[in-house]
Amino acid sequence: MRTFKKSEALERLPNQFFAKLVKKVAEVKKHHDDVINLGQGNPDQPTPQHIIEELKVAAENPLYHKYSPFDGFAFLKEAVANYYMREYGIEIDPSTEVAILNGTKTGLVEISQCFLNEGDTVLVPDPGYPDYWSGIALAGAKMKSIKLKEELDFHPDFQELSEKDWEEAKLMFLNYPNNPTGATATEELFQQVIELADEHDICVVHDFAYGAIGYDGQKPLSFLQIPGAKEVGIEMMTLSKTYNMAGWRVGFAIGNPSVIEAIELLQDHYYCSLFGGIQQAAAHALLSDQSSVEELVTMYESRRDVLVTKAKEMGWHVKAPKGSFFAWFKVPEGFTSEEFADLLLEKAHVVVAPGIGFGEAGEGYIRIGLLTDEDTLIEAMNRIAELNVFHTQNV
């Protein structure tokens, strides 16, 4: 059989670190049926029933059986604008400041193709979401890591960047609440980002996937709440986490009109937008009663508290995440992140994500998802405790 050579763009794509983890998990599952997977980022709860019912009604509408408008239905863009006004007090022009995305994963890859030429530089958080790297690689651009340090509450250490780094940078990715660290942003951080981006003509892309998930009574900040944010960039948000609609693939970009225009231009060549029935259900989700979101955050916070309590009981010195549905825990002394993850998989049959998979600065940590019930989290932590790897650690 003839084998055809891939394009240079595909050859540049980074190796999928977590594909290796999936293979390891599959191998263990062949011999054990008690594996607990805390390494994933897939919401475990169903989509609220009222959203499903809206889709059922919408599916009967023959208008949606035809091609959708290439840039999406106006009613969904208006719903996004209304949502941002209600939740964040931000005025959005739905006709020029909203782009509908086939999930934000797609948008986060597309944005690099919209604005980067070969050899351009992008500022990327480390640790960070690996799909940022994919779009950069496809564009032939290069990454400059911004270290997220625990002593800075996992905010970027901009002091490590040289003047040359700032001069060469065309794009900057940010993500709060943060995956994988669970950190949240402050007004001071966003103000600093806006000033630096304005000074150096950098487009900021704030990944707000976990925007609804904040703990201890603190609502996560939208980047666009800070004056000047729309001048320098955009925010991307998804319905996947807020409404447990991961499989529906609905997201949107909001902000600077020139960036929105570029995204829609690219998507004109890639897609014919989303099925209209899904767009109607998405608009309904944004505009309807939000009690399901409040209940979801309460559930995640309770799971977080159970996880952190059990960790501290075994002598694991950890910090509770402030947002997202992930916990970011240090590995015990004497292990790399991958070694410790392998130990938990092989000996405790518990899957976690090694921090090194999120960048060099992720070494020394593992990511644990809050995406299973409390009893299962307790069982997983009890199994880890039985390994006695923390018996010499101080609480």
- Whole-number Å distance between alpha carbons of 108 and 207: 8
pLDDT in tens, 161-186: 999 999 999 999 999 999 999 999 99
CATH of the domain at 248: 3.40.640.10
Percent of the chain with pLDDT over 90: 88
Question: DSSP code of 214?
Answer: B
Does 50 have pLDDT greater than 80?
yes
CATH of the domain at 21: 3.90.1150.10
Q: Which residue range is the domain that position 329 belongs to?
A: 8-46+292-385
- Whole-number Å distance between alpha carbons of 353 and 383: 17
What pLDDT was estimated at residue 283?
A: 98
Residues 25 and 73 in one domain: no
Residue 322 lies in a domain: yes
Binned at pLDDT 50, 70 and 90, residue 332 comes out as very high
Residue 379 lies in a domain: yes
What would the two tokens of residue 150 be?
Answer: 């625990």
Size of the chain, expressed as the number of residues it contains: 395
User: 237, 261, 287: which is the final residue of a domain?
Assistant: 287
Residues 6 or more apart whose CB falls under 8 angstroms from that of 327 comprise 182, 304, 307, 308, 318, 320, 321, 367, 368, 370
User: 252, 269, 287: which is the final residue of a domain?
Assistant: 287
Residues 233 and 162 in one domain: yes
> Structurally, how many domains does the chain consist of?
2
Lowest mean per-residue pLDDT among 29-33, 86-90, 100-104, 193-197: 29-33
Give the pLDDT mean for 115-139: 94
Residues 280 and 301 in one domain: no
Mean pLDDT of the chain: 94
Give the pLDDT mean for 278-306: 97
What pLDDT was estimated at residue 247?
A: 93
Residues 121 and 263 in one domain: yes
Does 390 have pLDDT greater than 90?
no
What pLDDT was estimated at residue 215?
A: 97
What pLDDT was estimated at residue 20?
A: 77
Residues 96 and 12 in one domain: no
Q: 12 φ, ψ to 5°?
A: -80, -15
- Whole-number Å distance between alpha carbons of 272 and 236: 20
Does 370 have pLDDT greater than 90?
yes
Binned at pLDDT 50, 70 and 90, residue 123 comes out as very high
Give the pLDDT mean for 67-96: 96
Question: Which residue pairs from 49-57 have beta carbons closer than 8 angstroms and sit at least 24 positions apart in sequence?
Answer: 50/284, 50/288, 50/289, 50/292, 51/243, 51/245, 51/281, 51/284, 51/285, 51/288, 52/281, 54/280, 54/281, 54/284, 54/285, 55/277, 55/278, 55/280, 55/281, 57/280
Residue 52 lies in a domain: no
SS3 132: helix
Question: DSSP code of 67?
Answer: P
Residue 392 lies in a domain: no
Residues 159 and 226 in one domain: yes
Binned at pLDDT 50, 70 and 90, residue 319 comes out as very high
Q: 378 φ, ψ to 5°?
A: -65, -45
CB atoms within 10 A of CB 40: 17
What pLDDT was estimated at residue 189?
A: 97
Does 105 have pLDDT greater than 60?
yes
Percent of the chain with pLDDT over 70: 99
Binned at pLDDT 50, 70 and 90, residue 393 comes out as very low
Residues 6 or more apart whose CB falls under 8 angstroms from that of 239 comprise 245, 248, 250, 251, 282, 285, 286
Say if residues 208 and 225 touch (Cβ distance below 8 Å): no
What would the two tokens of residue 220 be?
Answer: 């996560």
Residues 319 and 373 in one domain: yes
Residues 71 and 20 in one domain: no
Residues 231 and 281 in one domain: yes
Residues 230 and 273 in one domain: yes
Question: DSSP code of 85?
Answer: H
Cis peptide before 62 (omega within 30 of 0): no
